[in-house]
Amino acid sequence: MFIAPLFSDRQYHNYFYSVAPSFATPSRPAYQASGGYAGTELLVATSRRYRDFWVGANHCQMTSMPVDPSPCVAYQGCDADSPVTWCEFAGGHTVPPFAAAAIISSASASVRVCPSTRRRITDGCARSRPTEGAHNRRHG
């Protein structure tokens, strides 16, 4: 995954954002764009090489079963806390129609809860505090 700010020159911004005085209206005033910040780019891309890496790293078998959304598959036998789901798309440089559903499904599957605190696990399950008696015994 790659995320970065985009910057462009005056010529680029003029093309997309400037409004010449002859095209100005009360709801769209004349505007002369300058160069600078143009937004943020988020690129998510991978290849079968990375799929195979994660399948091996998470001790999965090379067998898979279809899961929602189609055309995604889930690999079998992975470590319990490290499932691998692969969604292949041959549509080129466009967002796949199943992207939103796949991201939501993946994110919701990766949220885990610590049994002792019933809180979301981010860096591991925090140990519960010692009882007051144990605290007093340790510190006198």
pLDDT at 126 over 70: no
Same domain, yes or no, for 94 and 59? yes
- 54, part of any domain: yes
Enter the tokens of residue 58: 């998470």
Same domain, yes or no, for 68 and 34? no
Inter-residue contact 14 to 33 (CB < 8 Å): yes
pLDDT at 106 over 60: yes
Q: End-to-end distance of the chain based on CA atoms, in angstroms?
A: 52
Inter-residue contact 115 to 125 (CB < 8 Å): yes
- pTM score, two decimals? 0.46
- 17, part of any domain: yes
Inter-residue contact 51 to 64 (CB < 8 Å): no
Predicted local confidence at residue 30, as pLDDT = 95
Enter the tokens of residue 40: 């943020």
pLDDT at 109 over 90: no
Residue-number span of the structural domain to which 6 is assigned: 2-43
